[in-house]
Amino acid sequence: MAEQAQLQDEYRANMQSCVEAAGWSVTITHEGGVVEPFNGQTEMDRYAIDRDACRESLGLHTDGAALTADQYELIYGRQVQTRECLVAQGYTMATPPSKEAYVEAALTGDSNSTAAWSPYLDSAFEKLAESEYNRLQEECPEPWWPSAPS
């Protein structure tokens, strides 16, 4: 969990610096989005161009290239670590799919199956208060990858 949190914090800090250097006064969130709303689609589109340029400058791919089996295995491992952390926080959760099933579903593009599995999508969190969600995100960060993880 510590490695995930560190990588996420580094990415967020680097993105924050980059978008500020591009002239944006926005706050990069824990999930990689922004706090402040945009004034219309045109502004949102301009930000997306600058955001993608920042991602490229950080060595991240924005071309939509398909992930590999190895990358999906890494993602799965991070998801399992997050689930274990949430269980340690006292939440009862469904058993995750097997790594093999997760990767196979992801590679075939079956987004309605195990490839869409994420610990925070478990029914245990359906009615979670925002304050508790935010606390859990600090304790057990949900893995996210702004592009294909390496």
Domain ranges of the chain: 2-57, 69-139
pLDDT band at 92 (very low <50, low <70, confident <90, very high): very high
pLDDT given at position 17: 96
Residue among 125, 144, 126, 146 nearest 136 (CA): 125
Mean pLDDT calculated for residue range 14-36 = 88
CB 49 within 8 A of CB 92: no
Query: What is the distance between the alpha carbons of residues 107 and 99, in angstroms, rounded to a whole number?
Result: 12
pTM (2 decimals)? Answer: 0.67
**Residue type at position 99:** K
* 135-150 per-position pLDDT tens digit: 998 889 887 665 544 4
Alpha carbon of 98 to those of 76, 77, 117: distances in Å? 9, 11, 11
Best CA proximity match to 15, nearest among 67, 53, 64, 61 = 53
* Of 132, 140, 129, nearest in space to 80 by CA: 140
pLDDT at 114 over 60: no
* Helix, strand and coil in the chain, % to nearest 5: 55, 0, 40
Residues in the chain: 150
Question: Residue 56, Cβ neighbours under 10 Å: how many?
Answer: 14
User: What's the angle, vertex CA 19, arms to CA 14 and CA 24, rounded to 5?
Assistant: 150
10 neighbors 2 (Cβ within 8 angstroms): no
- What are the tens digits of pLDDT across the range 48-69? 999 989 988 887 766 666 778 8
Banded pLDDT at 71 (limits 50, 70, 90): confident
